[in-house]
Amino acid sequence: MKFVDEARIKVQGGHGGRGSTSFRREKFVPFGGPDGGDGGHGGSVRLKAIEGMNTLADFRVERTFKAPSGEPGSGNGCTGAAGQDLTVAVPIGTVVRDAETGEELGDLTRVGELLLVAQGGKGGWGNTRFKSSTNRAPRQFGPGLPGEKRALELELRVIADVGLLGLPNAGKSTLIRAVSAARPKVADYPFTTLHPSLGVVDVGEHRSFVMADIPGLIEGAAEGAGLGIRFLRHLQRTGLLLHLVDIAPPDPEADPVRDARMIVAELKKFSPELARRPRWLVINKRDLLPAEEAEKRSREIVRRLRHRGPHFLISAATGQGTRELAQAVMRFLEERSAEAAAQAKAAGRGEASAADAPE
Ligand SMILES: Nc1nc2c(ncn2[C@@H]2O[C@H](COP(=O)(O)OP(=O)(O)OP(=O)(O)O)[C@@H](O)[C@H]2O)c(=O)[nH]1
Ligand SMILES: [Mg+2]
């Protein structure tokens, strides 16, 4: 199935029910007063993030989700039944925008999170409500208000701690298979991976992180070459990028350093902010060369790229070096979250002391 990570839908809250115009009709009560009840509220439309949905394919065809209307009010002061709310399931990581204004309405990142996207209309007043000292037999009623109507843009951005980046065939999917239970397809032709997949990397003692495998990038991707760069959006929620470089590409003309620079250039075109995130160099397929030769080439690649962050020399196929890589990633993420927690605490203290300070 084609991977869908953008979709448009329409949502509409239910119409409020009409208020009732009714008068008491009872034996021995000649002029019964008004007793028309209010209309019920229309149902609202809500989006709900659920597990196990990992594309927006259900919304490939633009559809309208409409909540039911409220029932009209009736005599004897009876309020009409409210329309039921309509809940539409979306994948975790769905960003929701108003298609007309572009305003972000919400970002559903947690299981079960709900977002109200179209409020149901209020029910109209029954004639009882219009009773006054001058009008004791009102015939007016409220018509019930229409439900809110909106066009929405949905965008899926998967939620992962670490993202993989690299040319097609660099070995991204092989790496995620080596360190997690995820089983994306691996093959010796470019663009094997057509959509992102996630793997949970367990590093023992209840410590784990989520890695995102995405399609490969090629030169001109920003202009649409290969699979383009749209799927780089799935790296936007990650705190660390692993840039995979094939140490011994089969094409004798290929230069891993030139290719690595090209990847970073494409990344910048997509998002300069993303290009500034921590990015580690992971030189893969070391098993293709004798150990010494691999180490020498790896040093040269790091030097020529003037790469200052951490780098690793691994073989995703044999697993050599992958455990160390996973451990280092885990430590990095833990340190970062400890720092973030400390900063949040310090900020909290700052606010508290400012509030406590005498005027
Ligand atoms: N010898 C060797 N081959 C590897 C290694 N890692 C990956 N390969 C091979 O390289 C080819 C491409 O691997 P993939 O994991 O599919 O590469 P990818 O980066 O996911 O490629 P795309 O999904 O097309 O972007 C496959 O034939 C793998 O078996 C490695 O460490 N050593
Ligand atoms: Mg792949």
Could you tell me the pTM of the whole model? 0.79
Q: What pLDDT does 53 receive?
A: 84
Q: At 160, list the tokens.
A: 């992962």
Contact 172 CB / ligand 1 (< 6 Å): yes
CB-based contacts of 32, cutoff 8 Å, min separation 6: 23, 24, 25, 26
C-alpha 117/C-alpha 114 separation (Å) is 9
C-alpha 251/C-alpha 253 separation (Å) is 5
Question: Does residue 110 have a pLDDT over 60?
Answer: yes
Question: Does residue 75 have a pLDDT over 80?
Answer: yes
Question: Does residue 353 have a pLDDT over 60?
Answer: no
Contact 44 CB / ligand 1 (< 6 Å): no
Lowest-confidence region among 58-62, 74-78, 207-211: 58-62
Q: For 262-287, what is the mean pLDDT?
A: 95
Ligand 2 center to residue 296 CA distance, Å?
27
Q: What percentage of the chain carries pLDDT values higher than 70?
A: 96
C-alpha 218/C-alpha 253 separation (Å) is 16
- pLDDT-derived band at 1, boundaries 50, 70, 90: very low
Strands 162-166 and 197-202: unpaired
Q: For 287-297, what is the mean pLDDT?
A: 96
Contact 187 CB / ligand 1 (< 6 Å): yes
Other CB atoms within 10 Å distance of the CB of residue 345: 10
Question: Does residue 176 have a pLDDT over 50?
Answer: yes
Helix (H) or strand (E) holding 197: strand 197-202
Question: Does residue 230 have a pLDDT over 90?
Answer: no
C-alpha 199/C-alpha 54 separation (Å) is 13
Q: How many residues does the chain have?
A: 359
Ligand 1 center to residue 41 CA distance, Å?
57
Ligand 1 center to residue 322 CA distance, Å?
14
Contact 271 CB / ligand 1 (< 6 Å): no
Question: Does residue 355 have a pLDDT over 80?
Answer: no
- Minimum CA distance residue for ligand 1 atom 8: 171
Contact 184 CB / ligand 1 (< 6 Å): no
